[in-house]
Amino acid sequence: MKITSNLTAAAVAGLLAVAGTSSAKAADCGTAGPITIAEMTWLSAGTLAHVAQKIMSAGYGCDAQLIPGDTVPTATSMLSKDQPDVAPELWVSTAQSIWDEMQAKGNVYKASDIFASGGEEGWWVPDYVAAEHPEIKSIEDLKANWAVFADASNPEKGRLYGCPPGWGCEPITNNLFKALGLEETWELFPSGSGETLKASIAKAVSRKEPFIGYYWGPTDVIGKYHMVRMETPPFDAENYKCLVDINCADPKVSGWAKGEVAVAVVTSLKERAPDVATFLGKMQVPNNDISAVLAWGDDNGATTDEVATYFLKNYEAIWTQWVPADVADKVRASL
């Protein structure tokens, strides 16, 4: 009996050791060195950076470090220096030429499209406007329905809130305004800045007043104020080339290009941390859900770290699909 017991104990110990090794392997970072993640300056990108950092640190045992970033500087650094290792929300269209160089060089790849529906740009109305005016579905319906959006200060014309000056969307909005023939019945109202535009939406919604203007998603504004994007004609690559040109002489209507927003990763991470690279390849969030998360963050004055924790606690159905069960358990425990 004593011999049997010893053998049994040894067998159990061996099984536990194997199980422990298997579990460790599943959650192994693969590298003792730091993995750097770009924390960009807007709420969604900062939140996603913290989400990635928490999963890598707690779930895989990585030394995951956040470093400051922004689209063009981060893309440039990834191209020339292979740093940072990860940019969870890189707007490819904003840094297209740099992205093309990365692809030619082969040192950075797109692990995933972070937003399930891509980046969404366009002209948006609050949901109550869409419900009350089913006749206004497309930007092509605006010319005949200007009176719905007339402002008391200029009741003879509808008011369309334009893109803030200097933003990439400015020439597109200005040229579409001309292409749709809105100049006689609409005024293209200057937004001034991103904060002013956001404040204009908040004011209109608080008063249940009509509003239409440029915005993009996913963002806290889209989730918080329940904004609905106006339909557009199909994307036309040739027409769009002129729409993005501030000197376009004869603009024609096109839908917005679908924004390509990548989880950008340096290629060497596949070898250094293959399990982490697999996780990043599955990292994607539905647009409506992340907009709702960001709206919570805005409502509560939360930091990006707090918004990331809120997401991990309340949207398990999304992020647990990115990682093995044992990794998910470690992340839960860390919260």
DSSP 5-39: HHHHHHHHHHHHHHHHHHHHHHT--S-SSEEEEEE
- What integer pLDDT is reported at residue 26 of this predicted model? 55
- What integer pLDDT is reported at residue 200 of this predicted model? 97
Q: How many CB atoms lie within 10 A of CB 77?
A: 18
120-243 folds as D-Maltodextrin-Binding Protein; domain 2 (3.40.190)
User: What are the boundaries of each domain within the chain?
Assistant: 32-116+260-334, 120-243
- What integer pLDDT is reported at residue 4 of this predicted model? 37
Residues 6+ apart with CB under 8 A from 150: 156, 157, 158, 159
pLDDT digits (tens, 9 = 90+) for 94-115: 788 899 999 999 999 999 999 9
What is the Cα–Cα distance from 92 to 98, expressed in whole angstroms?
9
User: Mean pLDDT score of the chain, rounded to an integer?
Assistant: 91
pLDDT above 60 for 288: yes
DSSP 285: B
- Of residues 188, 171, 181, 161, the one with CA closest to residue 240: 171
Question: What DSSP line would sit under 298-319, residue for residue?
Answer: HHTT--HHHHHHHHHHH-HHHH
ω before 84 within 30° of 0 (cis)? Answer: yes
32-116+260-334 folds as D-Maltodextrin-Binding Protein; domain 2 (3.40.190)
Residue 132 burial (10 A CB sphere; 0-12, 13-18, 19+): middle
Distance spanning both ends of the chain, measured CA to CA: 46
pTM recorded for the entire structure: 0.80
